[in-house]
Structure 1
Amino acid sequence: MAQVKVFYEPETELLTVFWQPPRKDQISTELGDGVILIKDSTTGEPIGVEILSYHPGDNRFDTVSVELGQLSPVQ
């Protein structure tokens, strides 16, 4: 089962979400609108995301969709 870790720092208005463990050598890429993609520096695989200037009710999450479960193979 996948674990998602969410960290919110109200003093700095920073929301960080990891769906894989943080890496010592992770890299970040700004996607725009204060959204930062966190990736493994070796594989380039996305492992998390940061939202700058986040506050509860932030409308940048209106377009986020989370689906849990197993994918069926495409035939």
Structure 2
Amino acid sequence: MAQVKIYYEPELELLTVFWQPPRKKQIATELGDGAILIKDETTGEPIGMELLSSRPNDDRFDSVSVEMGRLAEAS
């Protein structure tokens, strides 16, 4: 089972979400609207994200959809 780790730093208004462990060598790519994608530097695989200027009831979460489970295998 995958573990998602969420960190919120209210004094910085910074929300960080990791769905894989942080890496010593990771890179960040700005996606716009204060969203930053964190990737493994070696493989380019996304491992987390950050939201800048994040506050409770942030309207950027209106467009976030989280689905849990396994993808069905193609026939």
TM band (smaller chain): over 0.9
Which runs of no fewer than 5 residues in structure 2 stay unpaired? none
Shift of 1:70: 1.1
Question: Structure 2 counterpart of 1:21, which letter?
Answer: P
Give the Cα–Cα distance (whole angstroms) in 1 for the partners of residues 18 and 30 of structure 2: 16
TM (norm. structure 2) is 0.97
Following the alignment from structure 2 to structure 1, what is the Cα–Cα distance between the partners of residues 73 and 63?
26
TM-score (norm. length: structure 1): 0.97
Q: What are structure 1's unaligned runs of at least 5 residues?
A: none
| Other-structure match for 1:62 | 62
* Residues 28-72 of structure 1: per-residue CA shift (max 9 Å, x gap): 000000000000000000000000000010011111111111111
Distance, in Å, in 1 between the alignment partners of 2:64 and 2:35 is 12
> 2: CA distance between counterparts of 1:63 and 1:44?
24
SS in 2 for 1:62: helix
Deviation at 1:12, TM superposition (A): 0.3
**Aligned residue number for residue 19 of structure 1:** 19
Matching of residues 1-75 of structure 1 within 5 Å: 1-75=1-75
Identical amino acids, percent of aligned pairs = 73
Which range moves more in the overlay, 62-71 or 25-34? 62-71
Count of equivalent residues: 75
Moved over 2 A (4+): none
